[in-house]
Amino acid sequence: MSKKLRLGVLVSGRGTNLQAIIDSINEGKLSAEIAIVISDNPNAMALERARKANIPTAYVKPGKKSEFEREIINILEENNVDLIVLAGFMRILSPNFVNHFPLRIINIHPSLLPSFPGLNAQKQALEYGVKITGCTVHFVNEVVDGGPIILQEAVPVYDDDTVESLSARILEKEHKILVEAIRLFGENRLRVSGRRVFIDKEGFDKCL
């Protein structure tokens, strides 16, 4: 049996995406282990969720960017992390950090990229007037919200939507595709070619 995928999850806030990962692991739906949860915010509810699940946590105080990132890199390496998951981590990582872990960092973003990158994606979508929006899991590269797309899920925008109602509809899908992307990564089924990410079919190898 291959070794369990070790995750390092970076968080800044509420942590519902982290919770979705924890729940999927606990329910046996995702074969992975969260080695460490790291936050730049000591009061993040996500840290509380991790502690409740007996997952090791680390708070890294933001300061000089290079030192802040160096500390995070050290923690991730000490914990032998295979995949880094940005789950509501509200900082932009430098090219130096990103290039340290090529194709080993993924992010969940609440829009159908490349539409509405950056902050307040749900508000941007609502104000723009799109009829469909959604969420995206992508590999992280040097461009903010610009890396190769792994999975996307669409949701409708209704006339009476508020930022809150739309965000809630998207969030449900975020939890689903983030866990699914981690699963596919862990099963070594993601093949990246330029900007495109191909997903190998289940059991493909075994059929040969």
**Residues with a known catalytic role:** 109
Contacts of 121 (CB under 8 A, 6+ apart): 109, 110, 111, 133
How far apart are alpha carbons 118 and 167 in whole angstroms?
A: 15
Is 14 a residue that touches ligand GRF (CB under 6 A)?
yes
- Region from 10-18, 32-40, 123-131, 148-156 binding ligand GRF, contact rule CB under 6 A: 10-18
**Minimum CB–partner distance for residue 178 and ligand GRF (Å):** 8
169 binds ligand GRF (CB under 6 A): no
Q: By C-beta, is 5 or 46 nearer to ligand GRF?
A: 46
> Which range binds ligand GRF by CB under 6 A, 24-32, 33-41, 108-116, 138-146?
108-116
Residues 6+ apart with CB under 8 A from 193: none
CB 157 within 8 Å of CB 142: no
147 binds ligand GRF (CB under 6 A): no
SS3 133: strand
Q: How far is the CB of 155 from ligand GRF (least distance, A)?
A: 12
The answer to the question of residue 134 lying near ligand GRF (CB under 6 A) is: no
Q: Count CA atoms closer than 13 A to 115's CA, side-chain side.
A: 19
User: Which of the ranges 9-17, 23-31, 35-43, 77-85 carries the binding residues for ligand GRF, by CB under 6 A?
Assistant: 9-17
Q: Which 22-81 positions form the footprint of ligand GRF (CB under 6 A)?
A: 46
Q: How far apart are CA 178 and CA 120, in angstroms?
A: 19
- Nearer to ligand GRF by Cβ, of 179 and 184: the residue is 179
Query: Using CA atoms, how far apart are residues 111 and 131, in angstroms rounded to an integer?
Result: 12
Alpha helices in the chain (DSSP H): 16-26, 45-52, 65-78, 95-100, 121-128, 163-186, 204-207
Q: Per CB under 6 A, does 110 bind ligand GRF?
A: yes
Which residues would be at the binding site for ligand GRF (CB under 6 A)? 13-17, 46, 87-88, 108-110, 171, 174
